[in-house]
Amino acid sequence: MATVVLFHHAQGLTEGVRAFAGLLRDGGHEVHTPDLFDGRTFDDLVTGVGHVGEIGFPALLQRGAAAVEALPEEVVYAGFSLGVLPAQMLAQGRAGARGAVLMEACVPPSEFGPGWPEGLPVQVHGMSDDPFFAGEGDLDVARALTEQEPGGELFLYPGDAHLFADPTLPSYDAAAAALLLERVLGFLGGLDALDD
C-alpha cells in the first residue's frame, strides 16, 4: 500500500478529483486530497486560473507544503494540471518521497531545485494534442525528464482534451481515464514490490 497525496487542478477539488482518489483507495492505497482553494470550485478553467492568479503561485505552493506537514515522509505525490506544481515541488524537495505522478503538466525540475532526485520514480501522463500540456512545452519537459530517469515513464493518450480524467467535466474521456487509472495503480503497485 502506498500513501498518496493527490493535488487538484485549477477548477478545484471537484467531485471528479475525489472520485479518482476513491478509485486509488479501492486499489488498496491511502489517499489524501488537500483542498488548496478552501472549498471553492469553478465551472470553467478560465475562472479557476483567474482564482489562482488572485492567490498567487507562491501562496499556492505554501498551501501545498502545509497540507502535508502532518503526514509521514514516505509519500507518493500526484497532481492534475495545476496540482502538479505542489506535487512536483514536494517530490523534489521533501525528504522521503517514494514517487511522483504528474498528470497533464510537467515543469522543469530546475524550478524546484538543482534537478530531479536521483532514483525517484516518476510517471507523466497527458494527451498528445492537449494545447496546454503539448502546446506550452510541458510535453518536451516530460520527455526530457522521463528519458534521463531510469524510473521515468511518459504516457501519451490520443486527443486534445485537458483534464480528461475528471468525470465531472466536459473534457472527460472515459477510455483514456480508465487507462490512466490502470497505469497509476500499476505504478503504485510497483513501488510496493520494490519494498518487498
User: Which of 43-57, 82-96, 107-121, 160-174 comes out lowest in average pLDDT?
Assistant: 43-57
Q: Are 95 and 73 in contact (CB under 8 A)?
A: yes
Position 196 scores a pLDDT of 47
pLDDT digits (tens, 9 = 90+) for 63-95: 999 999 999 999 999 999 999 999 999 999 999
Q: d(Cα 3, Cα 111) in Å, to the nearest integer?
A: 25
What's the whole-model pTM score? 0.95
Provide CB contacts within 8 A for 156, sequence distance 6+.
126, 127, 128, 139
Q: d(Cα 91, Cα 121) in Å, to the nearest integer?
A: 10
pLDDT digits (tens, 9 = 90+) for 18-47: 999 999 999 999 999 999 999 999 988 889
Which residue segments constitute the domains of the chain, with CATH numbers given?
3-195 (3.40.50.1820)
Q: d(Cα 65, Cα 94) in Å, to the nearest integer?
A: 9
